[in-house]
Structure 1
């Protein structure tokens, strides 16, 4: 996967256009002809970067996943203590998803679609898995499979984001702190 800065303006326009269309029409309703209009690029340009709609959706998932991970990492500069990084990662991801609900919606659709064919237990390789594995390995977290912690950690941030974005409940700062504290004390080896 390319570094976020290595994408051309046209590739980014295609990803952003596809994100809008998937949010509005879902995967099946997002056609290449609609995409060319939304992204303001030619059909040839789309097929220059992507061999098919399937290829686009898979690369789009990688693009937005990298973008989210880069965003979260940029907000952790200088934080050394594991507990602080635990809290900051959660909050930064929560704020990203609530400020970019179409990305959250796309991820949810993608993960639960045939596009997501990587269902092997060995696919846990992202920044959050690595971070939680570090917590287990360095004994900041209670002994457990990092996959279990990733389900707890990511499940809580995704559900909290969905409640805030798509539900009728606004989680204020106190609610978020309570959630993160419960998560930390359930997982931490204190």
Structure 2
């Protein structure tokens, strides 16, 4: 992923925060510019419209998530270690970026979602998850189930854990967080 300009990053971070607070409709470009500390004209240097901003932000976040998977998945490392590294890596990313989950939740239920041209199943994110779980099946670590199902189960498990924890509805005692991916692994692994 190529680095982005500091101003563009500030615009993205401000947009995430404002969308969490006000939703898409309540987040005009002028408010984003003000919160990001950039001139109104500067925001239009990077984005032609609010739609462009929202769609670019969506792709930027997806690239960050993909980079976590790339970083934690290595053919040089035992598969089980990669499994736990990916689980904890994504858990840490979502925990450290709570506005991302709020953004995604609103995005998939908004008209902006219709402008995403890629099919979810052919997206790089889905392909990387599927490939990872195909490897586990091929190497005999996981049950011979659909890699799409295994990937969906793992990813939604991470998202649900973060959402429940960050909302305060789930308070985990020491060591309990480790039990969640372990139960997931135990349910997926071949015997």
Q: TM-score range by the shorter chain?
A: 0.7 to 0.9
Cα distance, 1:81 vs structure 2: 0.7
Give the count of matched residue pairs.
Answer: 187
Q: 2:121 aligns to what?
A: 122
* 3-state SS of paired residue (1:29): coil
Q: 2:163 aligns to what?
A: 162
Structure 1 length-normalised TM: 0.86
Q: How does 1:1-190 map to 2 (within 5 A)?
A: 3-5=1-3, 7-71=4-68, 73-74=70-71, 80-117=77-114, 118=116, 120=119, 122-126=121-125, 127-190=128-191
Cα distance, 1:52 vs structure 2: 1.5
Instruction: Pick closer, same or farther for the CA change 1:172–1:131 going to 2, 3 Å.
Output: farther
Cα distance, 1:164 vs structure 2: 0.3
Instruction: Pick closer, same or farther for the CA change 1:60–1:77 going to 2, 3 Å.
Output: same
Instruction: Pick closer, same or farther for the CA change 1:155–1:189 going to 2, 3 Å.
Output: same
Say what the alpha-carbon RMSD is for the aligned residues. 2.3
Instruction: Pick closer, same or farther for the CA change 1:148–1:124 going to 2, 3 Å.
Output: farther
Q: Tell me if the contact between 2:66 and 2:124 (Cα under 8 Å) persists in the aligned partners.
A: no
Aligned equivalents of 2:35, 2:76: Cα separation in 1 = 40
Q: Tell me if the contact between 2:54 and 2:112 (Cα under 8 Å) persists in the aligned partners.
A: yes
Aligned equivalents of 1:112, 1:139: Cα separation in 2 = 38
Aligned equivalents of 1:130, 1:124: Cα separation in 2 = 12
Cα distance, 1:141 vs structure 2: 1.8
Aligned equivalents of 2:72, 2:83: Cα separation in 1 = 12
Unaligned runs of 5+ in 1: none
Cα distance, 1:139 vs structure 2: 3.3
Cα distance, 1:153 vs structure 2: 0.4
Worse overlay, 175-184 or 135-144? 135-144
